Structure 1
Amino acid sequence: MKKKTQSDAFMMGGNPKKRKLAPNPANSSADPAEPYPDHLGPTADACRAVRDDLMSLHGFPKEFLKYRRTNDRSQPSDATNEEEETVLDGLICTLLSQNTTDSNSRRAFASLKSVFPTWKDVLAAEAKEVEDAIRCGGLAATKALRIRGLLRGILERKGEMCLEYLRRLPVHEVKAELSQFKGIGPKTVACVLMFQLRRDDFPVDTHVFRIAKSIGWIPSGADREKAYHHLNKRIPDDLKFDLNCLLVTHGKLCQSCAAKGRDRKTRAPHESCPLTRYCCHSE
């Protein structure tokens, strides 16, 4: 039998001087759009079943009605006569909702708009004045700093405090634009995409993240960012809005799905939770 030479090894694709090592999975970067390729759930049927079960239990949450679209997905819903809020209003309202309750964030936004009729007024004011206006929403100093930094950045880049141009951009460009600003993370961007821009996106807040784990839609060791990419890849676009709103609402109201340690006196009893039959592991 002919003995292989270094030349033969080279012709077969090998390195005659150095053995080729197998790639180390820990050093390879997974596709961010498919962070859990071996985790096959949720299926479209599972998404639809959960949506239908939660809709039967809660109905569609009234707080989200003004953002809900009709069957013509290019048009906003006629469910409300309220004037459509601006992209900038929605972004700052979402920023104020970080690490606080919905009621507190709404109060903070209403107070901010009452004290400062325009965003130019916010930027012209003293930082302490802005903090005082939003203090009821918690983390006033941090949020005031971020809001003023956001407004200053928009003004410097665009010459005016307006984000309506984002409505004309594709999703990846919207993400790139908003991610430039400190304090504007993936969840905040996703909320603006879904609510203000009417795009097919699926934000992952604490309620969605917790429930998605409990019903096996994401691996038990998943993190929020990878969960966002996985769920957006798996959930059909036409189900994203309703399903997201219903999961958020259910996470707030259901005793068995609520965060541990929260006040559960007014929450629905465990027996009424339709998601218990989907649960595959405990938290």
Structure 2
Amino acid sequence: MGSDEFGAAVRQLRAGTDPAVVGLPVGSRRVTGLRREELGELAGMSADYVRRLEQGRSHPSAGVVRAIARALRVGRADYERLSALAGYAAADGQVPTELGPGGTRLLERFSDTPMIVTDAAMNLVAVNSGFLALEHWDLTGERWEWNVAWRHFCNPFAAFQQSAADATSHEAVLVAQLRAALLRYPADASLAALVDEMRTRSPRFDGLWRTPRPVELYESSATFTQSDGDSLTLVGNLIAIPGDDLAAVMLTAAPGSRDAARLVEVVGAAEGPAVVKVGQSGPG
């Protein structure tokens, strides 16, 4: 990786940035995105220097990388990518928790499919009404009640059951996600406290943390039991939302199955908005 790749990444991000998002007038523009002059002004550097960066003729400092990332208002993942292309480690920070446009669009466009969006630490950021209709996420009153990994290892849901094979796949993903988050955000005290709590409270998690299993599939099946005693089996697929360093889990049933028909009934009866933000205080 070198200056050419860094320059190409900056050029791509600049071209894909909506001027209105960074506080610039849209007006009549011959090209999409920002002009080099606009990026330079926002980042505190000359347009000529931006040109040299994009052409691979100058190597940026770590401070320049941060300035460009701030100017373009990119997400954590894009900032990390720019840093890596320039040969630096991304600056430590806090796990991003903003839903962002990518997660919002997913929830809105798949309103007929139960879905959640989590941050890098596996905390729920938002869900849709279809997910709430599954009726399995009870609240504990504890600090980590909205964390997917904590709930699985430390306070499992009674209405959520998996086979041994599916639980093994699910656990491998959860541990891998948390390990990756801790590497990216070593200064996040809340994330470190979560991992410490889970290692203390769950011997199974502690063992997997010390000797993690390789992730073979980013999906697993589970059976959800409804309050009326009926149940349905769904497959959860993990989908990355790179720009905001978030992830979505989409729950679907086998096509043409009894579960698929039941899912249509459950989601069809769901009420509420397409996007439900959640957190320590619950849905809101």
TM-score, length-normalised on structure 2?
A: 0.28
Q: If you compute each CA radius of gyration, which structure gives the higher value, 1 or 2?
A: 1
More helix by share: 1
TM-score, length-normalised on structure 1?
A: 0.28
